[in-house]
Structure 1
């Protein structure tokens, strides 16, 4: 049995490494002291003054680029205030809220992903006279511990020898080399996507100083296991830049790292570009630990008729979505989103194709026409969502009760960063952060109990376009820009919470 508490604890441990966190919020909302705007007190000139004060607030933010925002009361869907509400901007990871709704509507809250070990042949006296197949089922939470459990279950099923081939199938989903090709090779939040994944398709790279050189290690570690892998290899190169290079060569992920960047030692998670080979590599190690020797894996494109030997089920979808939104994990969003599209009877060719189907779904279900996604995570900068379109989705989702319980609660804080436990405004929302892109969408509850839905998007696409691919991990100016965006979001939350709190 997998309880909610144990799952979220495990997900927290698995996702806590910096490379696993894609656009996770760094700070909670902090209130800014200001007088109540009092938008309800009058009409006509009062509304004009309110619009003027909103424009002034946005201008004072100092943000370059474009800003759009909108807020509505969920009880009746009435839009209360907006600026450039019809302007479609990059949503960043706020898009994951849309993906969560798409998956729930298509798959259902109790849907589980299944990874199987199959026998294509006969078993006599513990000997499989045929092929053993590791078959992925699109589970984005599969990790090394689970493969170890499958290997143990294989032994328990009486298998002690496999005379045929060892095969791996990842065809449950289309193969995608990287979520966003514009990202640097080494960032862990843009790995490959396929029908099988392991450890969020990240491999652990560790180096230690050894005399005048370093020892390096590539493994698929969890807290319990640290199996080394052969499908990802690292070579130290005598240079200062670039820090990393990558090549898919000789059936393996071939990395080099600059010696002058290593220092005394350290570690980081690197993305995996060959997920099937990665999972098969680790499963061979785990099977060998139980006395079952497997040949080098062969990747297959279709499943033959076979007998089930062992299987692993993921937690139910609603728990997975809660973790996906909390930790803003890109791989989870893409695998869950493409699984939903496949279940709708429209096998996607890739992320863009699947995201287009999700956009069509949003138009049909919510009447939200200004949603054009290129992926399910929001990592691709070509995605566009208008604030008022997101508002339609949020208002409808609140009425069904499907989204708000999955969103992260943000405590309000004072100017020194301390949580204000008794603050009257309560916020549950999804953040989104890319370089020179920031978004926030969700719900706020005022002191009177009124619930508002809101969407805030800001983007300087020109500044983003000037960043080279190599600089995208830490581009100059992006951090200060995003801080301004977060500050503005906080001021807008305070404005709406005070203005519509009576």
Structure 2
């Protein structure tokens, strides 16, 4: 689910995005410097000035564009840097930061499968209970792995109901009843649709196909019976892997689920502003995904959040570049059609009249250079072209040193890995 879903969703709901109001501020040349020293670079200053001048020549109002650019030790340039602008999916940077602050990189969400019944001759006499905890990437492959494990435990048939408890979502469907129905379908390969069969092909060759018939219906309950016994516990991918998938595809449902697990938009806003060391007014969120122009973040805060994430990861083999898509490395998701310099890790953001880009440029001269660009206007496709040209000019000015960490967050994720099913025997 990419950033463009924001526009599509608005159309489906029959809503027109409200106009974007911007608080006037002084010109970038006169703006007050942030709490890092200024280190003049005439070439960079010229690139920024040319970028703004070019946008103006295309008819885009200068007071609706925002830029912040800095290295770890020096401010390099800005325009509207402290103004909170509608930032679309740059909101997911805040959600990612809050997730790291809350759980770290190795956290896994657990989904329990329980029963109060007994297993006799392949039949579970009773209900199959699913207790979720917020796994945002429980998809067909994961359900197939669970079904195969339940088969291994001797379950071929369930005489009772499939009961969903707590925060369980499947295939990005936040409604528990719908998710339960999808799970019921996935557990019985005799009922698979062509889509499930297609997803099954992503699993290793000779992966079994689960056969579990549930005689009852799907029900949603508030609590697990005290006498329920755990059959198995399914673990999600690690938080680092989840964030990478969320950011590379800019998946709105995943980000909403993670933000809600943290405590909601208000908590994410507070944590992000504090970590970024900016005024709380520079991070104003109504959700964790960026859907809606009411989500406002300043360019300075966007950079501050990325730097805070890098600081959070300083004792970790991972870096910010491992949690976001990178030019020259990732060929799917939101960077598929972008012309980004190799080694530049980014987070994109798109709404009907918003195109945003923030990330880090690995340079030899200045080390990591952090940037945020937030554009408002009627032609987001043109904004993307101009943003890529802006970064290409910076890359030409600086020698880049792209480094791709050989760690698991950069590898293809293994959806449906049976090793993440835990039973008493394992």
TM over 0.5: yes
Between the aligned partners of 1:132 and 1:291, the Cα distance in structure 2 is 11
Match for residue 380 of structure 1? 292
- Correspondence 1:159 to 2:155: yes
Cα contact 1:131–1:162 (8 A) shared by 2:
yes
Give CA deviations for 1:102-137 in whole Å, capped at 9, x if unaligned. Answer: 112211211112222210244566554432212233
Partner of 1:73: 71
Matched with 2:245 is 323
Number of the residue aligned with 1:365: 275
Separation (CA, whole Å) in 1 of partners of 2:300 and 2:249: 25
What 5-or-longer segments of structure 2 have no aligned partner?
A: 6-38, 192-209, 314-318, 330-335, 401-426
Please report how far the alpha carbon of residue 81 of structure 1 lies from its aligned counterpart in structure 2 after TM superposition: 0.6
Q: 1: distance between equivalents of 2:385 and 2:182?
A: 42
Pairwise CA distance, 1:163: 4.1
- Aligned counterparts of 1:197 and 1:444: Cα–Cα separation in 2: 36
1:159–1:446 CA distance, 2 compared to 1 (3 A): closer
User: Does the CA contact (< 8 Å) of 1:144 and 1:282 recur in 2?
Assistant: no
Specify the alignment match of 1:294 in structure 2: 215
Aligned to 1:62: 59
Q: Does 1:397 align with 2:309?
A: yes
**Preserved contact between residue 177 and residue 220 of structure 2 (Cα < 8 Å):** no
Contact in 1 for aligned 2:89/2:349 (Cα 8 Å): yes
1:90 to 76, 86, 92: 86
Could you tell me which residue of structure 1 aligns to residue 8 of structure 2?
A: none
Q: Is the CA contact (8 Å cut-off) linking 1:439 and 1:455 kept in structure 2?
A: yes
Q: How does 1:465-480 map to 2 (within 5 A)?
A: none
Task: Give the conservation status (yes or no) of the 8 Å contact 1:128–1:163.
Answer: yes
Counterpart secondary structure, 1:148: helix
What is the Cα deviation at residue 67 of structure 1?
0.5
Indicate how the Cα distance of structure 1 residues 100 and 47 shifts in structure 2: closer, same or farther if over 3 A, else same: closer
Residues 116 and 79 (structure 1), Cα distance of their counterparts in 2 relative to 1, 3 Å cut:
same
Which structure has greater strand proportion?
1
Superposition pairs for residues 478-489 of structure 1, below 5 Å? 481-489=379-387
User: What displacement does 1:23 show?
Assistant: 4.1
Q: Say which SS state the counterpart of residue 127 (structure 2) adopts.
A: strand
Cα pair 2:47 2:393 within 8 Å, conserved: no
TM-score (norm 1): 0.58
Q: 2 CA distance for matches of 1:485 and 1:358?
A: 28
Aligned to 1:111: 107
Asked whether 1:450 is paired with 2:350, we answer: no
Q: Quote how far apart the aligned CAs of 1:500 are.
A: 6.6
User: How far apart are residue 280 of structure 1 and its match?
Assistant: 4.3
> What secondary structure is seen at the aligned counterpart in 1 of 2:234?
strand
Once the two structures are superposed, what CA deviation does each residue of 1:4-34 show, in whole Å capped at 9, x if it has no partner? xxxxxxxxxxxxxxxx43449xxxxxxxxxx
CA shift for structure 1 position 300? 1.0
Question: Which runs of structure 2 are paired with 1:27-426 in the superposition (5 Å)?
Answer: 40=40, 55-64=52-61, 66-74=64-72, 76=73, 78-123=74-119, 127-169=123-165, 171-172=166-167, 195-198=168-171, 200-201=172-173, 274-283=177-186, 285-286=188-189, 290=211, 292-305=213-226, 306-341=228-263, 354-368=264-278, 369=280, 370-401=282-313, 402-411=319-328, 426=343
Contact 1:109/1:316 (<8 A) preserved: yes
Separation in 2, partners of 1:494, 1:54:
12
Partners of 2:90 and 2:302 within 8 A in 1: no
Cα distance change on mapping 1:54 and 1:357 into 2, 3 Å: same
Residue 101 of structure 2 aligns to a residue whose secondary structure is: helix
SS in 2 for 1:452: strand
**Aligned equivalents of 1:48, 1:449: Cα separation in 2:** 15
1:308 Cα shift?
1.0
Distance 2:40 2:373 in 1: 22
Distance 1:431 1:166, change over 3 A: closer
Contact residue 47 and residue 390 of structure 2 kept, 8 A:
no
TM-score (norm 2): 0.68
CA distance in 2, matches of 1:96, 1:162: 40
For 2:45 and 2:131, locate their aligned partners in 1 and report how far apart those are by CA, in whole Å: 61
How many Å apart are 1:397 and its aligned residue?
2.8
Indicate if the aligned counterparts of 1:196 and 1:279 stay in contact, CA closer than 8 A: no
How far off its partner does 1:454 sit? 0.5
Aligned mates of 1:324, 1:135 — CA distance in 2 = 23
In 2, Cα distance between the equivalents of 1:131 and 1:55? 63
The structure-2 alpha-carbon separation of the partners of 1:120 and 1:73, relative to structure 1 and needing over 3 Å to count, comes to same
Contact (CA 8 Å) 2:97, 2:272: kept in 1 or not? no
